[in-house]
Amino acid sequence: MSRLNLVSWVIGLVAAGGLAAVLSTAAGLLLAISSAVSHDLIKGSLDPNISEKNELLSAWIAMGVAIAVATYLGLNPLGFAVRIVSLAFGLAAASTFPALMMGIFSTKINNTGAVAGMLSGLLVTLLYIFLHKGWFFIPDTNSFIDADPLLGTIKSTSFGAIGAMINFAVAYAVSSMTKPTPDHPRPVGQSSGRSPAGHDPGGRHHDRQSDHAGPVRDRV
């Protein structure tokens, strides 16, 4: 096989693009983790009266812990991060992707069906992964291997598509057996007996103004 004779600046551009993609993804994940721990968990639940300084400090600590854990899992064993990322895409395809598609393109899916579909797709996909990778990824606890998978030629990293189909089927089945989604959502303010600001159903405000204006015209 012949080697590609690329000039050094082209190799540098390719390497810089890959590095930029990795850094941008890592930065976004670290920001999400730190804000989730400091703002949503600590300030939102554990200590609502925490000061901004301590909230910022907890965000930095959470970010440092996340970096340490990610570094350790990326090196022990080597290549663990690549396998986890491939499995994560399969889990996302089996859980969140069908719910998003049905929420956009279908009016027959209700919240009960969507939740049931997401849970079924996620659990079945996790079960298939654990049967091939080991329970909670513990070595020597697997019953099958990807070289000889349980279902024909479907490997654990490719089971996300099957999980997505299970998600669709369960969501439609549960939605058909439960209360349907209302065709006409109730307007804002209707449940409290008050009309939204600026909304005058039936022209009642106009009628009241006419009632008040009538005697004035008569007096004039």
pLDDT value at position 215? Answer: 47
Q: Which amino acid is at 116?
A: A
User: Can you give the pTM of this predicted structure?
Assistant: 0.58
Question: Could you give the dihedral angle defined by the CA atoms of residues 176, 178, 183 and 189, in that order, rounded to the nearest 10 degrees?
Answer: -160
**b/e code 83-103 from CB counts within 10 Å (16+ = b):** eeeebeebbebbbebbbeebe
How far is residue 73 from each of residues 81, 90, 136, 172, 195, measured CA to CA in Å? 7, 19, 14, 38, 56
How far is residue 165 from each of residues 3, 78, 171, measured CA to CA in Å? 43, 33, 10
Q: Encode the chain (220 residues) as per-residue pLDDT tens digits.
A: 445 677 888 888 988 998 898 889 889 989 999 999 999 999 988 999 999 999 999 999 999 999 998 888 778 776 677 777 778 888 889 999 999 999 888 888 898 999 999 999 999 999 999 898 888 778 788 899 888 888 888 888 889 999 999 999 999 999 999 987 766 554 444 444 444 445 555 555 444 444 554 444 444 4
113-143 per-position pLDDT tens digit: 999 999 999 999 999 998 988 887 787 888 9
